[in-house]
Chains A and B, each alone.
Chain A
Amino acid sequence: KNEVEQSPQNLTAQEGEFITINCSYSVGISALHWLQQHPGGGIVSLFMLSSGKKKHGRLIATINIQEKHSSLHITASHPRDSAVYICAVYYGGSQGNLIFGKGTKLSVKP
């Protein structure tokens, strides 16, 4: 079964902490998305990557294709980073067939 596993499911951090969210998948993929879903429900695409590492502001995403694993890091976390972070992979077939993880709920306390 093709699955996307995220860990942890829930994460509480103090403002300023370095945060890591992990994503593992079971089959070969062509690309991986990291998405952010705010408490209001809207979804923002943070990164799409197929190899190596990408950085945007305080966010860093890495992927290891051989190990079928990706990580999302947040440096100097802030309460406004509180959201659900979702990993999604492109799995075979049409490019629309995204498989989503269940998300990691992050809460950053001031």
Chain B
Amino acid sequence: NAGVMQNPRHLVRRRGQEARLRCSPMKGHSHVYWYRQLPEEGLKFMVYLQKENIIDESGMPKERFSAEFPKEGPSILRIQQVVRGDSAAYFCASSVPGQGSYEQYFGPGTRLTVT
């Protein structure tokens, strides 16, 4: 049973380009969470999605950032017109469906560098 997969593991983009980060949850998991870890800072919640539905995007920057989790395929975190301040590690996690608090399993992260 493969764990949470993220790709690419490392991504380099020039300022103004778009970055697309992918996350495939664990088998049987239909809830996906995205977190960002800025250099020398703690993890911060960005967005929580179920298949075809955004549940909570209270941690997403208002502009340039979007996320989706389609019926088929991985969840995508998209950053348009990247700036140097977007350089960070982006982690996704997944959990089983249901109400209440369920354990989240983390992917290896995507390290985005904006030059």
Contacts and interface: CB of A to CB of B under 8 A. Distances in A.
A88 B43 contact: yes
A97 B42 contact: no
B97 to A, nearest CB: 11
Interface in B88-115: 89, 91, 95, 99-106, 108-109, 111
Contact of B111 (A31, A41, A93, A94): A41
Interface of B: 31, 33, 35, 41-45, 47-48, 55-56, 58-59, 89, 91, 95, 99-106, 108-109, 111
A110 to B, nearest CB: 27
The size bracket of the interface on A is 20 to 34
Contact of B33 (A42, A98, A101): A98
Contacts of A30: 100-101
Nearest to B99: A95
